[in-house]
Structure formats: C-alpha cells, structure tokens
Amino acid sequence: MINRSSSASFVTAFATGWPEKQPDIMVLSLTTNNGVQDFAFNKEQALLIAKTIKETAAKLEKPKTS
C-alpha cells in the first residue's frame, strides 16, 4: 500500500444496481491510469464504506481560503 504506482483520476458510485435488475447491490466504478474497475457491494458493505468516508472527511483540515 505504500508504493502506489498510479492514483485514481475519477470515482463514481451509484446505487441503482448493476446490471439494472440488481437493486440489492451498489457498484463503485473506479477509473485509474490503468483503466476501469467495477466493485459490487451489498448494503452492509456500502454503509460501512459511507461511514468510513464520513469519519475520514470530518478529520480533514478546512479548505484554505485566499
């Protein structure tokens, strides 16, 4: 995890299911320099990810103003 050769350039998430007939999953689509990867999560996993993002965001410094 320390030596990362590429970083995410764009991240999208949608909860409509994938394919559309699977509303019980959320798909996170991650685009990097190496291409696109899709990750499917169930409800519990998606909620844990959202909780972790919220907690991490709360720890971030406030944006610098000019």
Q: For the residues of 5-45, what is the DSSP string, one character each? A: S--EEEEEEE-S-SSTT-TT-EEEEEEETTEEEEEEE-HHH
Provide the pLDDT for residue 14: 60
pLDDT tens for each residue of 6-58 = 666 666 666 555 667 787 888 887 777 677 788 888 889 989 998 999 999 99
Residue that wins the pLDDT comparison between 66 and 54:
54
State both tokens at 49: 């990810």
Number of other CB atoms surrounding residue 36 within 10 Å? 10
Residue that wins the pLDDT comparison between 63 and 7:
63
Which amino acid makes up residue 36?
V
CA dihedral over 21, 22, 28, 31, signed as positive or negative: negative
Residue that wins the pLDDT comparison between 23 and 59:
59
Provide the pLDDT for residue 65: 85
